[in-house]
Amino acid sequence: MRLAAARGFTLLEMLVVITIMGLAAALIVPSLSLPARAPIPPLIEFLQQQHTQAQQSGKAVRVFWRGNTLFTEPGEATFDLPPDAYLNLSRPAKTGYLDKQLITIFYPNGSAIAADFKLMQKPPGLLERWAYQVVINPFHGGIEFKTP
């Protein structure tokens, strides 16, 4: 009488499968724990476009702020801030020259005039808060933003 062949997995097969599952878990778990990247605010995109425009055109692009609008000279690019928002400038100093405030100048070589400001918001019925801080590096014109 023949004995039925043993059914099941060998110890070696089990160790191989467990090792593969461990490696897969080691690759997946760190990516699940990373914080989600914040979307780039429209104001930052506007400033990045002006930085690129200066480099491509070979001419300096000045960015000013008046009322609730940022605008450029030369050019006609504008950006409207939300109705409940305004800028709180740290750099450059407030001038109010010709009823407009200089935010920065982007130069064709990639550099810029340093800027540091916060976009402040005061939704109706709520306390004033800052939405994000913008810092423009004077050496390479890089634009960084930080959220609270």
* pLDDT tens readout for residues 31-41: 666 666 667 88
> 3-class SS at 26?
helix
Angle at 23 between CA 17 and CA 27, to 5 degrees: 145
Range name among 16-20, 53-57, 98-102, 141-145 with the lowest pLDDT average: 98-102
> 3-class SS at 84?
coil
More reliable by pLDDT, 125 or 48: 48
User: How far apart are the C-alpha atoms of 70 and 134, rounded to whole Å?
Assistant: 14
User: How far apart are the C-alpha atoms of 81 and 71, rounded to whole Å?
Assistant: 11
Average pLDDT over residues 101-105: 90
User: How far apart are the C-alpha atoms of 72 and 79, rounded to whole Å?
Assistant: 9
88, amino acid identity? N
- The band of 7, judged by pLDDT with boundaries at 50, 70 and 90, is confident
The 3-state secondary structure of 96-125, one letter per residue:
CHHHCEEEEEECCCCCECCEEEEEEECCCC
- The band of 125, judged by pLDDT with boundaries at 50, 70 and 90, is confident
Strands 61-66 and 69-73: antiparallel
pLDDT at 60 over 80: yes
| Reported pTM | 0.70
Residue spans of alpha helices (H) in the chain? 11-33, 42-57
